[in-house]
Every structure is written in C-alpha cells, then in structure tokens.
C-alpha cells in the first residue's frame, strides 16, 4: 500500500511558505492507519525499549497505537498547563515559532529505554526537545520513529548519532 497517497499537502499552513503534511486522511482510512502502525512497529522491531514517548497531538495517536501493539508503556508529552502533576520542560524552536514541551517529572525512571514517536520529522526541533526531556529524567534513547520525514529540511543533521526510523520520506 502506498501510504504517501493518504498524506494531504496544505500550502501556507500554519503560515505562508510552509507546506503542512496532513495525515488526517491516513488516520481516517482504517486500512491505511493499520498499515502505517504495523509498518512503524516493524521499523523498530530490532530495538529494545520500555516506553513510547510522544508529543501531542498527532504523536499521541501514533505513539499510543504503537505502544499498545508492542505491549509497551506510553508517556504523553504536552504543551504548558496540560499535565496535572509536576513537570519538567524544554523550550524549542519550530520552523514557525517557539514552543515548550512538558513531561511529568516521574514519567521515566533512570536508565529506562525510550522510543520517541511523532508524526512528522521536519527541522528536528521537536525531536531534539523530546530527547533533552528524556535525558533530563535519566532515560536512554533507543530510537526515534516518524511516519513522515521532510528530508529537504535536513533534520538528521540536527539529530546526528541517533537511530532514526521513518516510513514516508519527502
């Protein structure tokens, strides 16, 4: 199945000059969604990890489905003010602004192995912030898995030294 056909391009969103890769058509199609989750799980089948860590909102969808299928725990990473317990956070640059990511301070135990999952790897800023959060709590990065990679933004340079798995590359 060609999963790329289920990714819709939205020009000038969220601001002029950005092409947003919309995965909602893929999520809506039960066969494509199942295929994407199955294939993302296959991408990381050679990696050992205890937890899946994923940011809101689309990362939650993919990460929690993968955690369920692989029998792993799931840790949500959220924007400020969304988690009910004490958090630690990292600030990072998006291609169109600045943001913060928060994680519960007890979400990861020291030396736990973590798989980071998100929908799109663009500039690598979000992934880099997720890595810093995991390390801040004493976790170890096993790999990073993404549905889509925007290779023309060269995100792998920013994440050099990490095992990066992607399903669809632009």
Active site (catalytic) residues: 58, 95
Pairing relation of β-strands 51-55 and 113-121? parallel
DSSP strands (E only) in 66-124: 73-77, 87-94, 97-104, 113-121
**Under a CB-based contact definition with an 8 Å cutoff, are residues 11 and 5 in contact?**
no
CA gap 45, 20 in Å, rounded: 29
Phi-psi region at 154: left, alpha or beta (left = phi > 0; alpha = psi -120 to 50):
left
Q: Is 125 helix (H, G, I), strand (E, B) or coil?
A: helix
118 — phi, psi (to 5°)?
-150, 170
């Amino acid at each position: 199945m060609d999963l790329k056909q289920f990714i819709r391009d939205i020009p000038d969103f969220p601001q002029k000059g950005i092409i947003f890769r919309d995965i909602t058509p893929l999520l809506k199609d039960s066969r494509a969604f199942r295929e994407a989750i199955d294939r993302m799980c296959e991408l990381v089948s050679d990696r050992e990890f205890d937890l899946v860590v994923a940011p809101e909102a689309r990362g939650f969808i993919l990460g929690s489905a993968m955690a369920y299928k692989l029998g792993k725990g799931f840790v949500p990473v959220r924007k400020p003010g969304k988690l009910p317990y004490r958090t630690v956070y990292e600030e990072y640059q998006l291609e169109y602004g600045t943001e913060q990511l928060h994680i519960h301070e007890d979400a990861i135990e020291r030396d736990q192995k973590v798989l980071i999952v998100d929908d799109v790897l663009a500039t690598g800023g979000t992934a880099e912030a997720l890595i810093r959060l995991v390390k801040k709590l004493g976790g170890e990065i096993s790999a990073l898995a993404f549905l889509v990679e925007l290779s023309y933004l060269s995100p792998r340079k920013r994440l050099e030294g990490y095992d990066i798995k992607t399903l669809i590359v632009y």
